[in-house]
């Protein structure tokens, strides 16, 4: 079996794999035959061999920690450690990404154009081309995503994303993650496995050669194996972004649990939401029970609200429970 590593590692790490339902996660070495790992750029000692002998071998390679192994077309868990900033400014994207930025167009022209499942936006002085797919909720741009991007662009001093670690839940087409990347953040965009192909395409075409950090894509099913796949001992984020994620109404409890899990002390959650159903209002009430919530902006014409939140401490929740 052959695997390709997205990133090299700095320190000694075990390498072990299995394949449940289409993607690779750690497992005991006895489950696999010999495996060879190739790092993205040639360097002395960059080819590793792992042979099964009961326990996994420990290997050392120069680079950054968190070996992120990926079989072609299959996404592995994201790197938990922020890499050094990209040094190249070269635009490696397709020729169609070299069009004149929308910011240079006449003021009367719209900032979004529709063309056979594609939309074009202008944020941070960059043209962003998004491919949509009408066969999935997660592959369509929703009002909350656009509103959150506009808010981040207008309030970049208040929410300075430069060199910050950002996790997006329910990233969909990737618009919010793209804008966060363009604003200097190190982004991990997550969604259901069947959405990742289009998400990865949009992130790649709109960030290559443009961003301080290369964004990552990872599968994340709310409430399922989150502690296993994203152990809090190594994964932490400055910001968690959510945009129009309150629509799978049978999974709202799992969504809230996932929000709480990633919002550790020091983490700020920004959530943009368009209220559509009564269940949305119920979720907001439950959300306020476990988070300290501030309404940042209300956009009446779109019926979108943008919230800032931090997780309540156990002491806060006990005190509120006594008061009620």
Compare 85 and 286 and report the one with higher pLDDT: 286
Task: Tell me how crowded residue 316 is: count the other CB atoms within 10 A of its CB.
Answer: 12
Residue 239 has pLDDT above 90, yes or no: yes
Q: What is the pTM of this model?
A: 0.68
Q: What is the pLDDT, as a whole number, of residue 208?
A: 94
Q: What is the pLDDT, as a whole number, of residue 323?
A: 81
Q: What is the pLDDT, as a whole number, of residue 247?
A: 75
Nearest to 270, CA basis, from 156, 182, 113, 127? 156
136-323 has which fold? Rossmann fold (3.40.50)
Residue 90 has pLDDT above 90, yes or no: no
Q: What is the pLDDT, as a whole number, of residue 134?
A: 59
Weakest-pLDDT range from 2-16, 64-78, 170-184, 208-222: 2-16
Residue 114 has pLDDT above 50, yes or no: no
Q: What is the pLDDT, as a whole number, of residue 84?
A: 86
Q: What is the pLDDT, as a whole number, of residue 315?
A: 87
Q: 133-148 b/e with 16+ CB inside 10 Å = b?
A: eeeeebbbbbbbbbbb
What confidence tens digit (pLDDT) does each residue in 270-297 have? 999 998 888 788 899 999 999 999 999 9
Q: Which long-range contacts (CB under 8 A, 24 or more apart) does 35-44 make?
A: 35/1, 35/2, 35/3, 36/2, 36/3, 37/3, 37/4, 37/5, 37/67, 37/69, 38/2, 38/3, 38/4, 38/5, 39/5, 39/7, 39/8, 39/63, 40/4, 40/5, 40/6, 40/7, 40/8, 43/8
Work out the average pLDDT over 144-162. Answer: 97
Task: Tell me how crowded residue 275 is: count the other CB atoms within 10 A of its CB.
Answer: 14
Residue 161 has pLDDT above 70, yes or no: yes
What confidence tens digit (pLDDT) does each residue in 36-83 have? 333 333 333 333 333 333 333 333 333 333 333 333 444 568 888 888
> Domain residue spans in the chain?
1-77, 136-323
């Amino acid at each position: 079996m052959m695997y390709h590593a997205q990133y090299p590692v700095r320190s000694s790490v075990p390498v072990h794999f299995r394949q449940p339902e289409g993607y690779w996660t750690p497992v005991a070495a006895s489950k696999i035959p010999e495996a060879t790992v190739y790092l993205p750029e040639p360097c002395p000692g960059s080819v590793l061999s792992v042979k099964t002998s009961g326990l996994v071998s420990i290997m050392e390679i120069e680079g950054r920690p968190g070996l992120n192994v990926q079989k072609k077309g299959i996404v592995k868990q994201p790197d938990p450690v922020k890499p050094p900033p990209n040094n190249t400014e070269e635009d490696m994207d397709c020729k169609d990404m070299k069009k004149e930025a929308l910011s240079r167009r006449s003021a009367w022209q719209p900032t979004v154009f529709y063309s056979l499942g594609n939309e074009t936006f202008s944020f941070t002085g960059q043209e962003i081309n998004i491919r949509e797919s009408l066969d999935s909720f997660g592959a369509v741009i929703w009002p909350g995503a656009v509103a959150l991007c506009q808010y981040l662009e207008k309030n970049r001093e208040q929410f300075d994303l430069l060199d910050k670690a950002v996790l997006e839940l329910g990233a969909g087409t990737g618009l919010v993650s793209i804008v966060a990347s363009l604003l200097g953040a190190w982004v991990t965009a997550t969604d259901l496995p069947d959405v990742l192909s289009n998400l990865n395409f949009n992130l790649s075409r709109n960030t290559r050669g443009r961003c301080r950090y290369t964004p990552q894509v990872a599968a994340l099913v709310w409430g399922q194996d989150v502690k296993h796949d994203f152990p809090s001992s190594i994964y932490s984020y400055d910001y968690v972004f959510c945009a129009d994620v309150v629509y799978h109404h049978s999974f709202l409890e799992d969504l809230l649990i996932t929000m709480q899990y990633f919002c550790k002390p020091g983490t700020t959650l920004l959530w943009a939401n368009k209220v559509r159903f009564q269940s949305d209002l119920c979720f907001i009430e439950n959300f306020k029970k476990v988070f300290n919530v501030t309404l940042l902006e209300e956009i009446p014409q779109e019926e979108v609200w943008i919230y800032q939140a931090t997780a309540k401490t156990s002491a806060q929740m006990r005190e509120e429970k006594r008061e009620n």
